[in-house]
């Protein structure tokens, strides 16, 4: 299937899927949850460098998209665990792992080009 078959418009399925990858931390959170369910505080330690507000916003966005589920355990103190849904697991195992493999193969080239601009023709 060619890219023309997807009908690239503002509200197309491809655009919806790429929105997941355009938020700075969403792919990182998905990758971290790909290893198994985590509490929010454990994600902080696992990811590193991610402040509380963006972590909370990212989790809320991913829950809203149906990629992550929020499981509240009735304990004292209450415990909340985040896990990939079937849809989230398919995003992790498909496009996210493919992107990660591409980054391993071409990351150095990409970083060398960082900051370079293309002159208008």
Which residues on neighbouring strands pair with residue 14, listed in sequence order? Answer: none
pLDDT number for residue 74? 85
pLDDT number for residue 18? 83
pLDDT number for residue 6? 53
Q: Taking the CB of residue 91, how many other CB atoms lie within 10 A of it? A: 24
| Residue 36 belongs to a domain | yes
pLDDT number for residue 120? 47
pLDDT number for residue 118? 55
| Residue 34 belongs to a domain | yes
Q: What CATH number has the domain bearing residue 86?
A: 1.10.10.10
Give the integer Cα–Cα distance in Å for 64 and 62: 5
State the 10-residue block means of pLDDT for the chain, 121 residues long.
Answer: 55 79 90 93 87 92 96 88 97 93 89 65 46
Which residue range forms the structural domain that includes residue 73?
9-106
| Residue 85 belongs to a domain | yes
- Residue 32 carries which DSSP code? H
| Tokens read off for 31 | 């990758």
Strand ranges across the sheet with 68-73 = 38-39, 79-84, 68-73
| Residue 50 belongs to a domain | yes
Give the predicted TM-score (pTM) of the model: 0.77
Total domain count, the chain: 1
| Residue 117 belongs to a domain | no
* Residue 110 near residue 100 (C-beta atoms within 8 A): no
């Amino acid at each position: 299937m060619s890219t023309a078959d997807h009908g690239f418009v503002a509200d197309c399925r491809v655009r919806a899927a790429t929105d997941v990858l355009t938020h700075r931390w969403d792919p990182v959170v998905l990758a971290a949850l790909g290893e198994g369910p985590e509490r929010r505080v454990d994600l902080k330690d696992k990811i590193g460098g991610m402040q509380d507000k963006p972590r909370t916003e990212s989790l809320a966005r991913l829950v809203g998209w149906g990629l992550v589920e929020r499981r509240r355990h009735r304990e004292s103190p209450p415990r909340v665990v985040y896990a990939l849904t079937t849809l989230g697991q398919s995003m992790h195992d498909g496009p996210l792992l493919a992107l990660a493999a591409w980054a391993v193969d071409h990351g150095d080239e990409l970083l060398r080009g960082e900051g370079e601009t293309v002159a208008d023709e």
